[in-house]
């Protein structure tokens, strides 16, 4: 079964052609990082306008690289939410028009289901239920996932997502966007024990997250101690590398602790991490260490499938099709932001 996937939930315009949910024939992503970088975060109106500009060329390129035409498609899939509603409408509208013109089914996909599907896109696929951490700029949550791809929410953030905390603190430091990548790079040369930032773990059995307090603590630290020492400002009172490593460690500690807590509570011997923050080197390292110590299998998608992409959307659509077939009409599906 050949599916064209379309993803426009935030600031990447992506399209991919995937066969039977696993064979990737093409994967095209048009990034908007240079556009939003000066603002330290995504500007929704700019994102929507760029999606309008990119969507048709990106779809055309995905089909061209796959050496397929629209007539070869069995279905068209698109993200319907959650995300920026203006951005979502661009991709979903394009998918509706294409599916209608080709007389093929439209498969609307939940963005989080797409990220979860990325756990199946590595070399070895989970062969049983697993605890899945979905962690990105807009989402931080834990799910129990079956081999069919069906997911049950176990816990989510009460306020900020981990990726949002990375971006906001990176903006305070003036080190660029996306913040997670910038902090990860700086942290590699720093001491993660230099500063003791808070970890919100809540009660003993909690599977929920909170990063607003950590973000505030980091902002207060910068306000109290001034600008950190760096290559461009050697006179700072503390090392920007140590700050980045300590801040990152606080986030990673909570993410890993909660993921392992979920696996232990539900007797799951498999764990996975997906989403943009799952590309973080320290998170991948500590998950591997904890999974190995607990004799658990760890499933991490390739980094290119952690950030927003259309391969995960097409793959999730295939699993949905296998489970229940198409549903709804081409015109009554709407986007949703939350």
Q: Domains plus CATH for the chain? A: 2-116+306-324 (3.30.420.40), 129-300 (3.30.420.40)
How far apart are alpha carbons 312 and 319 in whole angstroms? 11
Roughly how many angstroms between the first and final C-alpha of the chain, as a whole number? Answer: 30
How far apart are alpha carbons 214 and 198 in whole angstroms? 6
- The number of helix segments (H) and strand segments (E) in the chain equals 10, 10
What interhelical angle do 281-293 and 179-187 show, nearest 10? 70
pLDDT at position 176 is: 86
Token pair for 214: 């950590």
* pLDDT digits 0-9 by tens, 229-287: 988 888 898 999 999 999 999 999 999 999 999 999 999 999 999 999 999 999 999 99
DSSP 158: S
| Under 8 Å between Cβ of 65 and 25 | yes
Mean pLDDT of 204-216: 94
Residue carrying structure tokens 């509570």? 265
> How far does CA 317 lie from the centroid of its chain?
17
* pLDDT digits 0-9 by tens, 147-187: 888 899 999 999 999 999 999 999 999 998 889 999 999 99
| Under 8 Å between Cβ of 81 and 335 | yes
């Amino acid at each position: 079964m050949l599916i064209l996937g379309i993803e426009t939930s935030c600031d990447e315009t992506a399209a991919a052609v995937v066969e039977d949910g696993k064979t990737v024939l093409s994967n095209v992503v048009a990034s908007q990082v240079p556009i939003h970088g000066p603002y330290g975060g995504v500007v929704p109106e700019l994102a929507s306008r760029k999606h309008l500009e990119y969507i048709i060329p990106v779809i055309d390129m995905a089909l061209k690289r796959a050496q397929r035409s629209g007539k070869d498609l069995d279905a068209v899939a698109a993200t319907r939410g959650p995300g920026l509603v203006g951005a979502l409408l661009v991709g979903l509208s394009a998918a509706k028009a294409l599916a209608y013109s080709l007389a093929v089914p439209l498969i609307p996909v939940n963005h989080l289901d797409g990220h979860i599907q990325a756990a199946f896109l590595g070399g070895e696929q989970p062969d049983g239920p697993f605890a899945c951490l979905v962690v990105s700029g807009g989402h931080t949550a834990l799910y129990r996932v079956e081999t069919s791809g069906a997911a049950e929410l176990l816990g989510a953030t009460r306020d900020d997502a981990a990726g949002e905390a990375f971006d906001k603190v990176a903006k305070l430091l003036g080190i660029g966007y996306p913040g997670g990548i910038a902090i990860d790079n700086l942290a590699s040369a720093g001491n993660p024990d230099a500063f003791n930032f808070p970890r919100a773990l809540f009660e003993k059995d909690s599977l929920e997250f909170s990063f607003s307090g950590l973000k505030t603590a980091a902002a207060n630290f910068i306000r109290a101690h001034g600008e950190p020492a760096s290559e461009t400002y050697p006179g700072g009172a503390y090392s920007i590398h140590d700050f980045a490593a300590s801040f990152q460690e606080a986030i990673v500690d909570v993410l890993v602790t909660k993921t392992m807590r979920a696996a232990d509570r539900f007797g799951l011997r498999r764990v996975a991490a997906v989403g943009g923050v799952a590309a973080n080197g320290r998170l991948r390292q500590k998950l591997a260490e904890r999974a190995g110590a607990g004799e658990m299998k760890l499933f991490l998608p390739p980094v290119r499938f952690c950030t927003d992409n259309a391969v995960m959307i097409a793959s999730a659509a295939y699993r949905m099709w296998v489970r229940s077939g198409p549903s709804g009409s081409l015109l009554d599906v709407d986007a949703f932001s939350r």
